[in-house]
Structure 1
């Protein structure tokens, strides 16, 4: 579907200290650097918050909460999470676990998808997290988009950035800003998904046949 004649890329993220949110913002810039593409940011509610009697309509900071209905309105999906023991967070996993209806309907089949993550340490499980995040996307029949080495920042980075998706090393205190190479790769990931989604929007039969 399109929004005001624009291809919509949904960016769903979980964030603890704000690092993945900042990555999502840069990915959104990459999406919107592609003509006729529009980025939509959504945050997953924390799992513990779901037991509350009333969940606020919007979080205190960041993007509005994600709903599975958002998946029907996008032509591409990018998911992000901090690394928890080498895997995605429980909050993002919980959100994905609610998408059985979309799986039965084939809502996401043939659409491009990608992943991003942040860790406190250099070897904190970024690649295993990104790979594990791809598994439910593959079950949905999505087309996984990584970062090719035509992006020179993959060879230049001294912190985050992998061929499996964008990543960030936030440091032990979790406050390190995005490095220039990390920022560039976030934007590149957004632009890559947007470009592929735009091409498929113009010729959807190619991915769904």
Structure 2
């Protein structure tokens, strides 16, 4: 059943992320702030657990802090998706890939088809493979039939930024210490991406 926005009911946009030391979480919270700034939209923050050969016995059922773990229903219930992961050799981190690989159910049902999505990432170095990571994260979303939302160059911070920022999505350069202090330009771009995603999500949900 297609989503309908009546103008009085808040529609939720899922902000799904994996964060190892906090940088991606900080970006996720800024994107959520942008979503919440759009009338009629509300951000739903979710994360994924770490993975290993013994992940079931080492990770708690409920995270000790931060957002709850994502479930399939989060994908089904939300009208849009912001997907975030640290950069790992130019690709998304294993925990996020593991979660995405388990979304065959929503793929078979078409739960995400026609919904907008955006991506975001953080890397330790300036040339750490941010854009290839963003592109790799788009690929499974396209398989789900999602519509990719980026950052246009009408956002002046794309050309002002000397750290993160990409037309493919919001980014942060953390440095060797994985610094979670987001620059002003990175903050504005992340918030702008959240607003853009929420606006697009509401328009498509109202069709």
- TM-score greater than 0.5 by the shorter chain: yes
What is aligned with 2:122? Answer: 118
Compute the RMSD of aligned alpha carbons: 1.6
Structure 1 CA distance for aligned equivalents of residues 122 and 12 of structure 2: 24
What is aligned with 1:138? Answer: 142
TM-score using structure 2 length:
0.94
Tell me which of 68, 71, 76 is aligned to 2:75: 71
Matches within 5 A, 1:53-202: 53=57, 55-202=59-206
Do the aligned residues in 1 keep the contact of 2:22 with 2:180 (CA within 8 Å)? no
> Which segment is superposed worse, 62-71 or 114-123?
62-71
> Which segment is superposed worse, 156-165 or 45-54?
45-54
Q: How far is the alpha carbon of 1:7 from its aligned partner? A: 1.6
What is aligned with 1:207? Answer: none
Tell me which of 2, 9, 26 is aligned to 1:5: 9
What is aligned with 2:36? Answer: 32
What is the CA deviation profile of residues 117-149 of structure 1, one whole-angstrom value per residue up to 9, with x for unaligned ones? 000110000000000000000000000000001
Q: How far is the alpha carbon of 1:184 from its aligned partner? A: 0.4
Do the aligned residues in 2 keep the contact of 1:86 with 1:128 (CA within 8 Å)? yes
Relative to structure 1, the CA distance from residue 115 to residue 49 in structure 2 (aligned partners, 3 Å threshold; closer, same or farther) is farther
Relative to structure 1, the CA distance from residue 2 to residue 62 in structure 2 (aligned partners, 3 Å threshold; closer, same or farther) is farther
Q: Secondary structure at the match of 1:41?
A: strand
Do the aligned residues in 1 keep the contact of 2:165 with 2:189 (CA within 8 Å)? yes
TM-score using structure 1 length:
0.93
Structure 2 CA distance for aligned equivalents of residues 63 and 125 of structure 1: 26
Q: Name structure 1 gaps, 5 residues minimum.
A: 204-209
Q: How far is the alpha carbon of 1:62 from its aligned partner? A: 1.3
What is aligned with 2:46? Answer: 42
Q: Name structure 2 gaps, 5 residues minimum.
A: none
What is aligned with 1:206? Answer: none
Structure 2 CA distance for aligned equivalents of residues 200 and 59 of structure 1: 33
Q: How far is the alpha carbon of 1:48 from its aligned partner? A: 2.3
| Count of aligned residue pairs for this structure pair | 203
